[in-house]
Structure 1
Amino acid sequence: MYATFTKQCLGLYNKANELSTLYGVDTGAIIFSSTGNAYSFFHPSMESLLGRYRNPNQPVSSEYSQVIEAQSRDRIRQRNQQLDEILEVNDQIKEKDKRLDEVDDTRPKGWWEEVPVESLDAGQVREWTTWFEAVLARV
């Protein structure tokens, strides 16, 4: 049950974050577990969001609040930019792995790749070790 709650809670947080990121809206969520623990998500801050809820037509009251909100929005923008860059690099790595797998599937295999290592006896293991060491010494 806790695992389900955690997944659902994370899903709600992601949706609230998505709303604030994609549409630039202020969002908040307070979720209570079956044990009575409260979990919350607010963007840009709880104070700002509750102030706007209480007085929807009143502009943000202080310069301090505006600075805090601007910093919060900037941090989120930076994190989203970092996430986009990481996802792009991840996609590039996946594409490279895919191409390497395709090359590996089509290239001719060496004799050492055809024999399962588990089938070698102690003498063959020593022979292969000597051979590989000789090859590496030439490189």
Structure 2
Amino acid sequence: MPRCPRGRRKIKMAKMENESNLQVTFSKRRTSLFNKASELSTLCDAEVGVIVFSPSDKVYSFGHPSLEAVTHRFLTGNPPAPTDFSGTEVFIQAQRNASLFQLNKQLSRVLTELDEARKEGEEIDKMTKVRNGFFLLVHENLFNN
């Protein structure tokens, strides 16, 4: 029986009831949100701060140049005092940002692979149940006749 591709489909905006699906979706979307925040800060030289509380009350944050600098600027309305970065410090910060971006991409890829593996496992479980039901039916018919 061929699988019908689902492709991208519109998801109704309502709280998910299944806790497992909720956690997986939260992790994927959190990663995507942080990737977008990183891209925005890199491409537009914007100061960005994101704080997210998970369904299990864990705190996740992203800030560029740092979350403290962004919150200080937001609360006071004043930009932080300029710091005199040497070339080495700027290079180190750029390396950190690049590493963070790559790690976020890698995490997103691994979460996608995990989700696909879960779906394959569910399909195998369904096929096993159908096969077991078929063999039980054949077994009963052989011994009842």
The TM-score range, normalised by the shorter chain, is 0.3 to 0.5
**Structure (1/2) with the larger helix percentage:** 1
The TM-score, its normalising length taken from structure 1, stands at 0.46
